[in-house]
Amino acid sequence: MSSDVKFTDFKSDKQPTWCPGCGDFGTMNGMMKALANTGNDPDNTFVVAGIGCSGKIGTYMHSYALHGVHGRALPVGTGVKFANPDLEVMVAGGDGDGYSIGAGHFVHAVRRNPDITYVVMDNRIYGLTKGQASPTSRQDFETSTTPEGPKQPPVNPLALALASGATFIAQSFSSDALRHAEIIEQAIEHDGFGFVNVFSPCVTFNDVDTYDYFRDSLVDLQEEDHDPTDYQSAKEKILEGDKEYMGVIWQDEESVPYHETHGVTENMADIPDGAADGTMDLVREFY
Amino acid sequence: MAEDLNWAIGGEAGDGIDSTGKIFAQALSRAGRHVFTSKDFASRIRGGYTAYKIRTSTEQVQSVVDRLDILVALTQRTIDENLDELHDQSAVIYDGERSWEAEYPDHITGVDVPLKSLAEEAGGAIMRNIVALGAACEITNFSIENLDEALEKRFGSKGEKIVENNKKAARLGQEYVAENYDLDVDYDLDETDNDYVLLNGDEAIGMGAIAAGCRFYAGYPITPATDVMEYLTGRIDEFGGHVVQAEDELSAINMALGAARAGARSMTATSGPGIDLMTETFGLVATSETPLVIVDVMRSGPSTGMPTKQEQGDLNMTLYGGHGEIPRFVVAPTSIDECFWKTVEAFNYAEKYQTPVYLVADLALAVTEQTFPPETFDMDEVEVDRGKVVDDDTVGEWLDEEGRFRAHANTEDGVSPRAFPGTIDGAHMSTGLEHDELGRRTEDTNVRIEQVDKRNRKVETAREQEDWDYREFGDPDADSLVISWGSNEGAMREAIDLLEERGVDVRFLSVPYIFPRPDLTDDIEAAEDVIVVECNATGQFADLIEHDVLQRVQRINKYDGVRFKADELADDIEATLATEANAQ
């Protein structure tokens, strides 16, 4: 890692096709700043994303990257990290990607606790398919496919993470550039699965969960003197549901990432030219 | 009596059928005898009929036959299920003390051994199957000392006492038969000085993967592929690798994809229903040009089908599965030793051509155990070819004028350079979207055509560079040509001998490569009769061959869930040839 990496080194020369004003610009800038601030460079960073507006992020960033299929980014990122624990792995997805089609993977990635950072760009709407309800849409949010609202409560991603045994849970807001980058930095530095739900407003299809709404309603946990290592307090804040928080809500300081628990420490790319020494013992076992 | 002995133990699942059979198979193998096992099991944990069959000889054996010499029957159903295979030199070992009176035909010999009582005398009723093994040793004149090593291997971890009790149980069974029976059935199981290893196809695939340098495996348990994962678990770690039991097949293939992109030789294994789920990501693997080995151990389909029964019904899915047009390789081992070698090849193809490789095995290969001389798996013969990997020093040749790595460079052979993450200046994007040389999304019509052609071109390159051959058996000059793929090879090789005895000469080609595959045009044109043998109803491989040579072929299809038997196959081929002759 070189110490003189600038956040712009993580920028590709491809111009984003996100709508002007999209929250994803801020989300991505914060990710790039956080990567640079934590001493990473594009050659040791792997960014994985799925489908949708959020999925485009790997194209606009410069690093090793994979743009995968819808909802499966977490398993890919997990596999990358297992194969080479030296890499900085960041997985990005949207609310549909992470909490709908990929909800099962989310639960299991959380409980495995790989040392990766998971950024969900939560705009509470399906943007790229032009405005259908997402799993975090409000119960009464009217869309083309839910003219009377989804009529079912939204997923609480923080509670889902907590119940699955998360070791790091944070929430962020893409337009608060400074705080957002700080929170992602903390997630990167966390030894284990660093989960950040980022409010990343959709200016085209969501006229409820807007920049103004989040600016007015978000409570910064820093100002509340919240201790993120206090599980009870974190649990209450996540489950009470009457406020939207920003900041690190829960961090298990004892967290041991998957690769350390399981002794997966080698770069698996390094293999000999032929069968490794000791493989003949595998045959003898069948005597 | 013939050297070739067919032995079986049958009862209900949960009766310890599998482990008892395995102990006897290992004892026979340790005595330098060839062993071929087959399992008949139901998809349930307890209850239902289950059997473990062993065919053993001093000569190589590679199939099952319709003959049973010694049967250990723990239930009446065991006898009923095997009635047509019992003959007048057959013996049935059963326990008359139990609450059933064994019913068997007069012409066979019943050997009533108080299995439970003798087991209790040795230390516990649980050893009743071991008593039966001792009885079988007496009937077959097989030295009981051969059992000892297998018992030590099986029970060694449970302590000396358990091992000794089991040895005693076996001897009580042997002595009981010696003292109470003067049998007419007569078998002599000769020993040889040969050393053999005994393993099944799933284990051979797992061993081949480690030998080939596979270091990452993610999978989800499914019959009959689970043994691959169970084999790798624990063993792969010793070589710096890791196994993950994923939450589902979708996750499994995506994890394997991630590990492969990080530079690991990576694999997943599943059966047909799992391939269905993985097909979503299969296209991504191919389009992102990621080397990955995907093992499909076929079972009876469609849907949940018959999970514990044989079929070769997934060929079309592995060949054509996925939307759009996807370059891929499909390799199908034809024997248990080839499960090892074709796995090694699969990893080399995957990395040399940066494409997914389906390794297609079937249940009959996966769960069958067979003996081989250990040098069959000579690790010094294993070659690892990682293809066009660039490093910090060579990556420069592949940067564009702005210093960006051309991960999907449009090369003459269709294969682009590959930079493992961590390579300085190698950072790049890969995607399932159509992309340019840099991996960036495009809808440019020219680039689209260029990239599609590039990916397809590597298949053409591979066709030229590799040896897509077949294995040939039988009479090379025979007018009758039989072609098959997968596990049918073993039964077919024995069927050739049976047919020869009847004056029917056949030439047999066993084809391990489905795509790319050998050109059989000349072979087919030179033959008068062509028969394609496979375990499915529609003849998926026969369709391919007809398409290749534009000529109709005869078909022998079996889709009852049971593998081909050598004698059955000989009959079928003879009948097919006769029908063909009459038609002319």
Give A241's pLDDT tier (boundaries 50, 70, 90).
confident
Confidence at residue B66, expressed as pLDDT on a 0 to 100 scale: 84
Shortest distance between the Cα of B173 and any Cα of chain A, in A, equals 26
Nearest CB partner across the interface for B197, out of A48, A68, A286 = A286
The C-alpha atoms of residue B514 and residue A104 are separated, in whole angstroms, by 35
Q: Quick count: other Cβ atoms within 10 Å of Cβ B49?
A: 17
Q: Strand, coil or helix: what is B210?
A: helix
Report whether pLDDT(A28) > 50.
Answer: yes
Which of A14, A76, A277, A281 would best serve as a mutation to test chain B binding (most B beta carbons within 10 A)?
A76
Domain ranges of chain A: 17-286
- Which residue's structure tokens are 């193998």? B29
The C-alpha atoms of residue B118 and residue B121 are separated, in whole angstroms, by 5
- The secondary structure of B105-165 as a DSSP string is -TTSEEEE--HHHHHHHHT-GGGHHHHHHHHHHHHTT--THHHHHHHHHHHGGG-HHHHHH
Contact of A76 with A151, CB cutoff 8 Å: no
| B437 contact partners, CB below 8 Å, separation of at least 6 | B400, B406, B407, B408, B409, B410, B416
Judge residue B46's burial from the number of C-beta atoms within 10 Å of its C-beta, 0-12 exposed, 13-18 middle, 19 or more buried. Answer: exposed
Closest residue in B to A258 (Cα–Cα): B244
The C-alpha atoms of residue B515 and residue A105 are separated, in whole angstroms, by 33
Confidence at residue B357, expressed as pLDDT on a 0 to 100 scale: 98
| A65 contact partners, CB below 8 Å, separation of at least 6 | A46, A47, A48, A49, A58, A59, B427, B428, B429, B430
The C-alpha atoms of residue B194 and residue B32 are separated, in whole angstroms, by 5
- Number of Cβ pairs closer than 8 Å across A and B? 215
The C-alpha atoms of residue A68 and residue A49 are separated, in whole angstroms, by 6
ipTM above 0.90, yes or no: yes
SS3 content of chain A, % helix, strand, coil (to 5): 35, 15, 45
pTM listed for this prediction:
0.96
Q: Strand, coil or helix: what is B345?
A: helix
Q: Could you tell me the two tokens for A162?
A: 């907590």
Please list every residue in chain B whose beta carbon sits closer than 8 Å to the beta carbon of residue A279. Answer: 207, 210-211, 239, 379, 382
Provide the pairing of β-strand B329-331 with B513-515: antiparallel
Structural fold of domain A17-286: Rossmann fold (3.40.50)
- Which residue's structure tokens are 């030793």? B337
Q: Could you tell me the two tokens for B582?
A: 């009459």
Among B245, B241, B251, residue whose Cα is nearest residue B229 = B245
Residue A234 CA to chain centroid, in angstroms?
19
Which H or E run contains A40?
none
Q: How far is CA A162 from CA A135, A193, B184, B314, in A?
A: 17, 12, 72, 41
What is the pLDDT tens value at each position of chain B, 584 positions in all?
Answer: 456 899 999 999 888 999 999 999 999 999 999 999 998 887 777 778 999 999 999 999 988 888 999 999 999 999 999 999 999 999 999 999 886 788 999 999 999 999 999 999 999 999 999 999 999 999 999 999 999 999 999 999 999 999 999 999 999 999 999 999 998 888 999 999 999 999 999 999 999 999 999 999 999 999 999 999 999 999 999 999 999 999 999 999 999 999 999 999 999 999 999 999 999 999 999 999 999 999 999 999 999 999 999 999 999 999 999 999 999 999 999 999 999 999 999 999 999 999 999 999 999 999 999 999 999 999 999 999 999 999 999 999 999 999 999 999 999 999 999 999 999 999 999 999 999 999 999 999 999 999 999 999 999 999 999 999 999 999 999 999 999 999 999 999 999 999 999 999 999 999 999 999 999 999 999 999 999 999 999 999 999 999 999 999 999 999 999 999 999 999 999 999 998 777 76
DSSP letter assigned to residue A203: T
- Per the CB < 8 Å rule, is B421 touching A84? yes
- Which residue's structure tokens are 């689970």? B226
The edge-to-edge listing of strands for the beta sheet with B506-510 is: B471-474, B506-510, B480-484, B529-534, B554-557
Shortest distance between the Cα of B501 and any Cα of chain A, in A, equals 35
Quote the strand ranges of chain A, DSSP E.
Answer: 45-49, 64-67, 88-94, 117-122, 168-173, 194-199, 218-220, 244-251
Contact of B534 with B543, CB cutoff 8 Å: no
Confidence at residue B69, expressed as pLDDT on a 0 to 100 scale: 96
The C-alpha atoms of residue B522 and residue A31 are separated, in whole angstroms, by 61
Report whether pLDDT(A146) > 80.
Answer: yes
Confidence at residue B358, expressed as pLDDT on a 0 to 100 scale: 98
Mean pLDDT of chain A: 96
Shortest distance between the Cα of B373 and any Cα of chain A, in A, equals 10
pLDDT digits (tens, 9 = 90+) for A55-111: 999 999 999 999 999 999 999 999 999 999 999 999 999 999 999 999 999 999 999
The C-alpha atoms of residue B537 and residue B540 are separated, in whole angstroms, by 8
| B550 contact partners, CB below 8 Å, separation of at least 6 | none
Contact of B260 with A46, CB cutoff 8 Å: no
Among B316, B229, B226, residue whose Cα is nearest residue B271 = B226
Secondary structure in 3-state letters for B248-305: CHHHHHHHHHHHHHCCCEEEEEECHHHHHHHHHHHHHHHHCCCCEEEEEEECECCCCC
Give A3's pLDDT tier (boundaries 50, 70, 90).
low
Sign of the CA dihedral A164, A168, A170, A174? negative
- Per the CB < 8 Å rule, is A271 touching B215? yes
pLDDT digits (tens, 9 = 90+) for A5-14: 999 999 999 9
Nearest CB partner across the interface for A64, out of B241, B250, B421 = B421
DSSP letter assigned to residue A187: H
Cis peptide before B307 (omega within 30 of 0): no
The C-alpha atoms of residue A27 and residue A92 are separated, in whole angstroms, by 10
Q: Name the A residues in 208-267 with CB < 8 Å from any B CB.
A: 262-264, 266-267
Provide the pairing of β-strand B68-73 with B5-13: parallel
